[in-house]
Homo-oligomer: A and B are copies of this chain.
Amino acid sequence: MGDAGAVAAVPGHVTGFFAAHPDPDPRVAGSTGAGVTLTDGVRVRVTPGERGCTLDGRPTEITAVDRVLDALDATAGVRIESDLPVGAGFGVSGAAALGTALAANAALGAGRSENELVATAHAAEVRAGTGLGDVVAQARGRLPVRLAPGAPGHGRLDGVPVGPEARVEYLVFGGLSTERVLADGTERLCRAGATALSTLRADPTPARLLALSRRFAAETGLMTDRVARVVEAVETDGGRASMAMLGDAVFAFGTALSDAGYEPGVCRIDRSGARLVAGDAAPVDAGAADGHA
């Protein structure tokens, strides 16, 4: 990566349970539920004057990223580096959209607020059909609880308090089609998601989040065979794991997956949400004496 432009870091996000709330307005649409943000995630560099999008060096097209650039009236190149696989339930497309929004705003001086940038990325992701709740969760960090669906101004978030030693393990087998699951009749799914949410609100702890995710995965029939085998092996070992919604993937806290003999990806719970990490535009003391105001 060169030095031009601005760079944002966005955590990965695994949803444990959810209820979909479609709406014709993509800022109103979204999901309720709860999940885990990860220090493994994406870094997005936006470079004005360039064009095209790459993922880990290879040309790619991510609809939500294009929509963000359009919404910000930005012509720029977008270079994405990801610790996580795309389409496997880790919110990589949402992270790419949110990182593009934050970095493009900084690189181009677009003059949007944090809420406006999150809303832009959320709407882009919803319209692309690749996610409903990742972006708002990734903006908050830690263990985000989506109390009400939608972008800032519509949705409402809370969080499960979490300590600093918050190790996450995960195993990825492959992807699932978000569109197909959501098209496949979501009534039972939404009922299960709403029940899990109200139970978590009565006892907001990481252990309860994981246990409710496990129950949700079983009750909704979303668990794949490979995920079920891992979850059961972990439980036989005295641990707890659940499925990344929506991917053919498993997540757990602590060392539950390695204790059961797997060789998982390892990271920690993200502490701060999406953020700018470098950029040569809009330094904090720019224009200190520019005569404005």
Contacts and interface: CB of A to CB of B under 8 A. Distances in A.
Interface in A142-172: 142, 145, 152-153, 156, 158-167
Contact of A276 (B114, B156, B161, B272): B161
Interface stretch (A24-32, A43-51, A83-91, A196-204): A196-204
Interface in A86-141: 102, 105-106, 111-117, 141
A112 B278 contact: no
Interface in A213-260: 214-215, 235, 238-240, 252-256
A254 B285 CA distance: 5
Contacts of A292: 203, 207-208, 211
A283 B165 contact: yes
A288 B254 contact: yes
A123 B6 CA distance: 39
A161 to B, nearest CB: 6
A206 interface: yes
A284 B114 contact: no
Interface string A40-78: 000000000000000000000000000000000000000
A178 B161 CA distance: 31
Copies of this chain, count = 2
A190 interface: no
A113 B163 contact: no
B284 A162 contact: yes
B161 A117 contact: yes
B105 A161 contact: yes
A205 B282 contact: yes
A160 B205 contact: no
A183 interface: no
A32 to B, nearest CB: 14
A271 interface: yes
Interface in A260-293: 269, 271-273, 275-279, 282-290, 292-293
25 contacts: A102-B161, A105-B161, A111-B203, A113-B158, A113-B161, A114-B158, A114-B159, A114-B161, A117-B161, A142-B275, A161-B282, A162-B276, A163-B279, A164-B275, A165-B284, A205-B282, A206-B282, A206-B284, A207-B290, A211-B292, A212-B293, A238-B289, A252-B285, A254-B285, A272-B273
